[in-house]
Amino acid sequence: MTIKVSVIGATGRMGKLALEVIKGAQDLELHSALDSKSELSMAIGADVIFEATKLDVSREVVAFAIENRLNILVATSGWSENDRAELNADSAVVFVPNFSVGSVLGSKFAAIAAKHFDSIEIIETHHAGKIDSPSGTAIRTAELIAESRAEANLTQPLIPGVGQEARGEVVGGVPIHSLRLDGVSAKQEVVLGGTSELLTITHEVGSVQAYALGILHSIRYAAANKGLTVGLDKVLGI
Protein backbone atom coordinates (compact mmCIF):
# COMPACT_ATOMS: atom_id res chain seq x y z
CA MET A 1 0.00 0.00 0.00
CA THR A 2 1.33 3.43 -0.94
CA ILE A 3 1.05 6.17 1.70
CA LYS A 4 0.20 9.58 0.26
CA VAL A 5 1.90 12.38 2.22
CA SER A 6 1.21 16.11 2.21
CA VAL A 7 4.16 18.20 3.45
CA ILE A 8 3.24 21.51 5.07
CA GLY A 9 6.28 23.72 5.53
CA ALA A 10 7.89 22.20 2.46
CA THR A 11 10.40 25.05 1.99
CA GLY A 12 11.90 24.74 5.48
CA ARG A 13 14.79 22.56 6.66
CA MET A 14 12.64 19.72 7.94
CA GLY A 15 10.13 20.06 5.13
CA LYS A 16 12.84 19.66 2.50
CA LEU A 17 14.19 16.62 4.31
CA ALA A 18 10.70 15.11 4.44
CA LEU A 19 10.44 15.57 0.67
CA GLU A 20 13.74 13.68 0.26
CA VAL A 21 12.51 10.87 2.51
CA ILE A 22 9.25 10.55 0.59
CA LYS A 23 11.06 10.52 -2.75
CA GLY A 24 13.43 7.79 -1.58
CA ALA A 25 10.83 5.44 -0.08
CA GLN A 26 8.99 2.98 -2.31
CA ASP A 27 5.90 2.92 -0.08
CA LEU A 28 5.53 6.74 0.13
CA GLU A 29 4.12 9.14 -2.44
CA LEU A 30 4.03 12.95 -2.36
CA HIS A 31 0.42 14.14 -2.34
CA SER A 32 1.19 17.88 -2.08
CA ALA A 33 3.96 20.25 -0.95
CA LEU A 34 2.59 23.36 0.77
CA ASP A 35 4.27 26.60 1.80
CA SER A 36 3.00 29.73 3.57
CA LYS A 37 1.06 30.82 0.46
CA SER A 38 -0.74 27.50 -0.01
CA GLU A 39 -4.29 26.66 1.03
CA LEU A 40 -4.59 23.93 3.66
CA SER A 41 -7.36 22.37 1.59
CA MET A 42 -4.63 21.14 -0.76
CA ALA A 43 -3.77 18.54 1.91
CA ILE A 44 -7.19 16.89 1.76
CA GLY A 45 -6.89 13.41 0.32
CA ALA A 46 -3.51 12.69 1.88
CA ASP A 47 -3.06 9.67 4.13
CA VAL A 48 -0.66 11.61 6.35
CA ILE A 49 0.17 15.30 6.78
CA PHE A 50 3.79 16.02 7.72
CA GLU A 51 3.80 19.43 9.41
CA ALA A 52 6.95 21.46 10.18
CA THR A 53 6.14 25.17 10.53
CA LYS A 54 5.93 27.63 13.44
CA LEU A 55 3.88 27.10 16.58
CA ASP A 56 1.03 29.49 15.70
CA VAL A 57 0.73 27.94 12.23
CA SER A 58 1.08 24.44 13.66
CA ARG A 59 -1.95 24.96 15.88
CA GLU A 60 -4.03 25.89 12.83
CA VAL A 61 -2.77 22.92 10.82
CA VAL A 62 -3.46 20.44 13.62
CA ALA A 63 -6.98 21.84 14.10
CA PHE A 64 -7.55 21.53 10.34
CA ALA A 65 -6.33 17.94 10.32
CA ILE A 66 -8.52 16.94 13.25
CA GLU A 67 -11.57 18.65 11.75
CA ASN A 68 -11.04 16.80 8.46
CA ARG A 69 -10.05 13.52 10.13
CA LEU A 70 -6.63 13.53 8.54
CA ASN A 71 -3.67 11.77 10.15
CA ILE A 72 -0.97 14.28 11.04
CA LEU A 73 2.68 14.05 12.06
CA VAL A 74 3.75 17.20 13.93
CA ALA A 75 7.43 18.14 13.77
CA THR A 76 6.97 21.69 15.10
CA SER A 77 8.42 22.36 18.57
CA GLY A 78 6.73 24.34 21.33
CA TRP A 79 3.62 22.26 22.05
CA SER A 80 3.17 21.81 25.80
CA GLU A 81 1.81 18.75 27.53
CA ASN A 82 -1.35 20.71 28.40
CA ASP A 83 -1.78 21.78 24.76
CA ARG A 84 -1.63 18.18 23.60
CA ALA A 85 -3.96 16.96 26.34
CA GLU A 86 -6.71 19.26 25.07
CA LEU A 87 -6.74 17.63 21.63
CA ASN A 88 -9.53 15.20 20.81
CA ALA A 89 -9.07 13.42 17.52
CA ASP A 90 -10.41 10.32 15.78
CA SER A 91 -7.46 10.41 13.41
CA ALA A 92 -3.78 10.02 14.34
CA VAL A 93 -2.01 13.03 15.86
CA VAL A 94 1.65 12.13 16.29
CA PHE A 95 4.03 14.62 17.95
CA VAL A 96 7.73 13.96 17.45
CA PRO A 97 9.93 16.67 19.02
CA ASN A 98 13.05 15.01 17.66
CA PHE A 99 13.36 12.43 14.87
CA SER A 100 16.87 11.30 15.85
CA VAL A 101 17.03 7.72 17.12
CA GLY A 102 20.17 8.55 19.12
CA SER A 103 18.46 11.49 20.78
CA VAL A 104 15.51 9.35 21.85
CA LEU A 105 17.87 6.79 23.38
CA GLY A 106 19.79 9.54 25.17
CA SER A 107 16.56 10.84 26.72
CA LYS A 108 15.61 7.31 27.80
CA PHE A 109 19.02 6.78 29.40
CA ALA A 110 18.60 10.08 31.26
CA ALA A 111 15.20 9.01 32.57
CA ILE A 112 16.68 5.77 33.90
CA ALA A 113 19.59 7.59 35.55
CA ALA A 114 17.25 10.21 37.07
CA LYS A 115 16.05 7.68 39.64
CA HIS A 116 19.52 7.66 41.17
CA PHE A 117 20.38 11.38 41.27
CA ASP A 118 18.80 14.42 42.97
CA SER A 119 20.83 17.03 41.08
CA ILE A 120 19.92 17.17 37.38
CA GLU A 121 20.02 19.91 34.75
CA ILE A 122 19.75 20.03 30.96
CA ILE A 123 21.80 22.14 28.55
CA GLU A 124 20.46 22.25 25.00
CA THR A 125 22.32 23.96 22.17
CA HIS A 126 20.95 24.63 18.70
CA HIS A 127 21.81 26.64 15.62
CA ALA A 128 21.36 30.41 15.85
CA GLY A 129 18.29 30.32 13.60
CA LYS A 130 16.17 28.19 15.95
CA ILE A 131 13.47 30.45 17.35
CA ASP A 132 11.85 28.45 20.14
CA SER A 133 13.46 27.64 23.45
CA PRO A 134 13.70 25.34 25.24
CA SER A 135 13.75 22.84 22.40
CA GLY A 136 11.00 20.25 22.13
CA THR A 137 13.60 17.56 22.78
CA ALA A 138 14.73 19.18 26.04
CA ILE A 139 11.13 19.59 27.17
CA ARG A 140 10.37 15.95 26.41
CA THR A 141 13.55 14.82 28.20
CA ALA A 142 12.57 16.82 31.28
CA GLU A 143 9.09 15.29 31.21
CA LEU A 144 10.56 11.79 31.02
CA ILE A 145 12.90 12.54 33.93
CA ALA A 146 9.98 13.84 36.01
CA GLU A 147 7.85 10.79 35.16
CA SER A 148 10.68 8.43 36.03
CA ARG A 149 11.28 10.08 39.41
CA ALA A 150 7.55 10.09 40.18
CA GLU A 151 7.35 6.35 39.44
CA ALA A 152 10.19 5.84 41.92
CA ASN A 153 8.36 8.00 44.54
CA LEU A 154 11.23 10.47 44.66
CA THR A 155 10.09 13.75 46.19
CA GLN A 156 13.45 15.48 46.60
CA PRO A 157 13.26 18.71 44.54
CA LEU A 158 15.93 19.16 41.87
CA ILE A 159 15.99 22.95 42.27
CA PRO A 160 17.63 24.38 45.42
CA GLY A 161 15.12 27.24 45.46
CA VAL A 162 17.64 30.10 45.46
CA GLY A 163 18.09 32.17 42.32
CA GLN A 164 16.03 29.84 40.12
CA GLU A 165 14.56 32.82 38.29
CA ALA A 166 17.93 33.20 36.49
CA ARG A 167 18.46 29.52 35.76
CA GLY A 168 16.53 29.30 32.49
CA GLU A 169 13.17 27.61 32.07
CA VAL A 170 12.00 24.87 34.43
CA VAL A 171 10.01 21.93 33.02
CA GLY A 172 8.73 19.19 35.32
CA GLY A 173 11.04 20.49 38.03
CA VAL A 174 14.09 20.14 35.77
CA PRO A 175 16.10 23.29 34.91
CA ILE A 176 16.81 23.70 31.18
CA HIS A 177 19.41 26.08 29.76
CA SER A 178 19.10 27.04 26.09
CA LEU A 179 21.99 28.18 23.89
CA ARG A 180 21.61 29.44 20.31
CA LEU A 181 24.98 29.57 18.53
CA ASP A 182 26.54 29.54 15.09
CA GLY A 183 28.55 26.44 14.23
CA VAL A 184 26.22 23.87 15.77
CA SER A 185 23.18 21.96 14.53
CA ALA A 186 21.74 20.37 17.68
CA LYS A 187 23.23 19.16 20.94
CA GLN A 188 21.78 18.13 24.28
CA GLU A 189 23.56 17.41 27.54
CA VAL A 190 21.82 15.98 30.60
CA VAL A 191 24.09 16.54 33.59
CA LEU A 192 23.44 14.48 36.73
CA GLY A 193 25.40 15.23 39.91
CA GLY A 194 25.96 12.87 42.82
CA THR A 195 28.36 12.56 45.74
CA SER A 196 31.84 13.01 44.27
CA GLU A 197 30.65 12.00 40.77
CA LEU A 198 29.16 13.54 37.66
CA LEU A 199 27.28 11.72 34.90
CA THR A 200 26.79 13.49 31.56
CA ILE A 201 24.61 12.03 28.82
CA THR A 202 25.37 13.84 25.55
CA HIS A 203 23.91 13.59 22.09
CA GLU A 204 24.92 15.73 19.11
CA VAL A 205 23.59 15.96 15.56
CA GLY A 206 25.82 17.08 12.69
CA SER A 207 23.10 17.69 10.10
CA VAL A 208 19.39 17.19 9.45
CA GLN A 209 20.17 13.87 7.75
CA ALA A 210 20.20 12.36 11.24
CA TYR A 211 16.41 12.77 11.29
CA ALA A 212 15.63 10.95 8.03
CA LEU A 213 15.11 7.46 9.46
CA GLY A 214 12.92 8.78 12.27
CA ILE A 215 10.75 10.70 9.79
CA LEU A 216 10.28 7.57 7.69
CA HIS A 217 9.23 5.43 10.67
CA SER A 218 6.94 8.19 11.99
CA ILE A 219 5.09 8.68 8.69
CA ARG A 220 4.43 4.96 8.48
CA TYR A 221 3.28 4.92 12.11
CA ALA A 222 0.92 7.86 11.61
CA ALA A 223 -0.67 6.14 8.62
CA ALA A 224 -1.35 2.94 10.56
CA ASN A 225 -2.49 4.22 13.97
CA LYS A 226 -5.13 6.42 15.59
CA GLY A 227 -5.25 8.82 18.52
CA LEU A 228 -2.56 10.88 20.25
CA THR A 229 1.07 9.72 20.30
CA VAL A 230 3.99 11.73 21.70
CA GLY A 231 7.63 10.93 21.01
CA LEU A 232 9.72 8.87 18.63
CA ASP A 233 10.20 6.41 21.47
CA LYS A 234 6.50 5.49 21.24
CA VAL A 235 6.75 5.22 17.45
CA LEU A 236 9.72 2.84 17.73
CA GLY A 237 8.42 1.01 20.78
CA ILE A 238 11.50 1.88 22.81
CATH topology of domain 101-206: Dihydrodipicolinate Reductase; domain 2 (3.30.360)
Parts of the chain belonging to CATH 3.40.50.720: 3-99+209-236
Parts of the chain belonging to CATH 3.30.360.10: 101-206
Catalytic annotation present for 126: yes
> What is the C-alpha separation between 228 and 233, in angstroms, rounded?
14
- 149-197, pLDDT tens digit by residue? 999 999 888 866 544 444 578 888 999 999 999 999 999 999 999 999 9
CATH architecture assigned to 3-99+209-236: 3-Layer(aba) Sandwich (3.40)
Q: Is the pLDDT of residue 17 over 60?
A: yes
- CA 1 from chain centre, in angstroms, equals 27
Q: Is 46 helix (H, G, I), strand (E, B) or coil?
A: coil
Catalytic annotation present for 130: yes
Active-site residue (options: 126, 127, 203, 234): 126
For 67-99, b/e burial (b = at least 16 CB within 10 A) is ebebbbbbbbbbbeeeeeeeeebebbbbbbbbb
Rg (CA), the chain: 18
- 29-76, pLDDT tens digit by residue? 999 999 989 999 999 999 999 999 999 999 999 999 999 999 999 999
Question: In the β-sheet with 186-194, what is the strand arrangement from edge to edge?
Answer: 169-171, 174-181, 119-127, 186-194, 197-205
Pairing of the two strands 71-74 and 92-95: parallel
> What is the C-alpha separation between 189 and 109, in angstroms, rounded?
12
Q: Is 43 helix (H, G, I), strand (E, B) or coil?
A: helix
Active-site residue (options: 4, 23, 115, 130): 130
Average pLDDT estimate for 106-122: 95
- 205-237, pLDDT tens digit by residue? 999 999 999 999 999 999 999 999 999 999 999
Q: Which of 35, 36, 91 is nearest to 68 (CA)?
A: 91
Total Cβ atoms within 10 A of residue 152? 11
